[in-house]
Amino acid sequence: MRYLFEEYVFDTDRRELHRGADVVSVAPQVFDLLDYLIRNRERVVSKDDLINAVWNGRSVSDAALTTRLNGARSAIGDSGEEQRLIKTLQRKGFRFVGEVREAREVASPNPGDESASALALPDRPSLAVLPFENMSGDPEQEYFADGMVEEITTALSRFKSLFVIARNSSFTFKGKAVDIKEVGRRLGVRYVLEGAVRKASGKVRITGQLIDAVTGAHIWTDRFERDLTDIFALQDEVTVAVVSAIQPKLLQAEIAISTRRRPENLTTYDYYLRALQQFYLATREGLAEAIRFAHRALELDPRFDLVAALAGACHTQNVIWGYADDPQFDRKEAVRLSRLALSVDDDDPQTLALAAVNSAFLVGDSEREIEMADRAATLNPNSFGAWSSRGQVYRISRWPVCLLPMTWRATVADLQRLGFRRP
């Protein structure tokens, strides 16, 4: 089996770890520890689990385990401070939190190798940003075009609901005439973003198009023209424009794909998408369906933080819009599900944003809610949802009840009777 994450390929059959085309030297026990963490990435593994798997249950010191764990992190470019891929949960254990793809068959560790075989698509939106074509004839613009791609890739990767291929893998196609379907097959992605940069008369024109790599259909295309003054400001401005256009289009495309799937073939992410679609309707029936789909997703993956936060938001909406038959029950469920989501991942901007709004309506701990909303916007400054939630939290936490919309005032009064605390 070959597991792929970021620019790494972890080959359990050959017992090799590749970073791009390079082989990373890994000690046998470190390899076994990585293998166990990756295979069991859907759950938290305890210290005893690792000892049984790596040392066959023999008695070992905490120092020995820490040394092997540090070695595993070092091999994949992680650290105990960053914990980007291997996360330590105090008094609970460890979990591999990186996005992982599994190869269907043996493939070359170099995504640009012609002999590479197809990779399995992740169960969530997967995207590769190809190098933009420099059409200006000016070699200096090559740096601008490459920087533009890097900025867009980084911005998209902040959406944890997206699986974004690392720049190193995408750039193996630089300067080559490519077939989008072949790119998707080689990199194991559903969507490909490609573009071009042209400079003329003190202006820069950037075109971009988002393509479904499976069907070849164009999902989005646009053109941006700006004055060529401050290069870095220009890159930031275009990045915001591109990312804010792409992310909603990807979500719409994924919802459309999910609705066409047969019920028996639905994955955890499909149930989340269906719940999200019903949540947006904001009707009594829609929220009831959203809660049903969300709980189906949680049955398959009890640690799906985003769907737990969404389910909490549904219960919050029931209270706000007067749909709740038992407001006390909905309030308790909203708080419980929000806390569950945060206990799984309190660094996901979408989860933080939803949990902050739920808490603002139902708990009233304004200092904590503002901190969560601020952190969500900081973690992903290109997320509409993060900024929208932040605005709601500030509005609820800092404005007097008399300045809230009429539809909210009765709700706030009800919540005060249920224990809602205003600052």
C-alpha 344/C-alpha 204 separation (Å) is 44
What DSSP line would sit under 341-377, residue for residue? HHHH-TT-HHHHHHHHHHHHHHT--HHHHHHHHHHHH
Report how far apart, in Å, the C-alpha atoms of 282 and of each of 287, 292, 410 are: 6, 15, 18
Q: What pLDDT sits at residue 329?
A: 95
The pLDDT mean for the chain works out to: 84
Which DSSP state fits 404?
S
C-alpha 367/C-alpha 224 separation (Å) is 40
> Which domains are present in the chain?
2-102 (1.10.10.10), 126-242 (3.40.50.10610), 263-417 (1.25.40.10)
Q: What pLDDT sits at residue 420?
A: 42
pTM of the model: 0.66
pLDDT tens digits, one per residue of 23-68: 888 888 999 999 999 989 888 999 888 988 888 878 788 888 899 9
Q: Considering only CA atoms, which of 16, 294, 297, 54 is closest in space to residue 4?
A: 16
Q: What pLDDT sits at residue 119?
A: 67
> Which residue has tokens 């970073």?
19
Lowest mean pLDDT among 128-142, 289-303, 325-339: 128-142
pLDDT tens digits, one per residue of 354-365: 999 999 888 878
Is the predicted pLDDT of residue 168 greater than 50, yes or no? yes
Q: Considering only CA atoms, which of 312, 305, 307 is closest in space to residue 332?
A: 312
The pairing of strands 191-200 and 126-129 is parallel
pLDDT tens digits, one per residue of 130-152: 999 888 777 777 888 888 899 99
Is the predicted pLDDT of residue 96 greater than 90, yes or no? yes
Mean pLDDT of 285-300: 94
- Counting other chains too, the contacts that 202-205 makes at CB distance below 8 Å and 24 or more residues apart are 202/227, 202/228, 203/227, 203/228, 204/144, 204/228, 204/234
Q: What pLDDT sits at residue 372?
A: 93
Q: Using 50, 70 and 90 to split pLDDT, how confident is the model at 340?
A: very high
C-alpha 268/C-alpha 306 separation (Å) is 11
For the chain, the C-alpha Rg in angstroms (whole number) is 23
> 224-249 burial, b for 16+ CB within 10 Å, e for fewer?
bebeeeeeeebbeebbebbbeebbee
Is the predicted pLDDT of residue 419 greater than 50, yes or no? no
Q: What pLDDT sits at residue 125?
A: 87
C-alpha 4/C-alpha 247 separation (Å) is 23
Q: What pLDDT sits at residue 118?
A: 59
pLDDT above 90: percentage of residues in the chain: 33
Query: What is the token pair recorded at 334?
Result: 């909203």
Q: What pLDDT sits at residue 399?
A: 59
> 254-288 burial, b for 16+ CB within 10 Å, e for fewer?
bbeebeeeeeeebebbbbbbbbbbbbeeeeeebbe
Select, from the ranges 107-111, 119-123, 214-218, the one with the highest average predicted confidence (pLDDT).
214-218
Q: Where are the alpha helices (DSSP H) in 109-197?
A: 141-157, 167-170, 180-187
Lowest mean pLDDT among 167-171, 210-214, 378-382, 398-402: 398-402
Q: What pLDDT sits at residue 21?
A: 67
Q: What pLDDT sits at residue 401?
A: 46
pLDDT tens digits, one per residue of 235-288: 888 888 888 888 888 888 888 888 888 877 788 889 999 999 999 998 999 999
In the chain, count H helices and then E strands.
15, 13
Judge contact between 193 and 249, C-beta under 8 A: no
Mean pLDDT of 392-401: 74
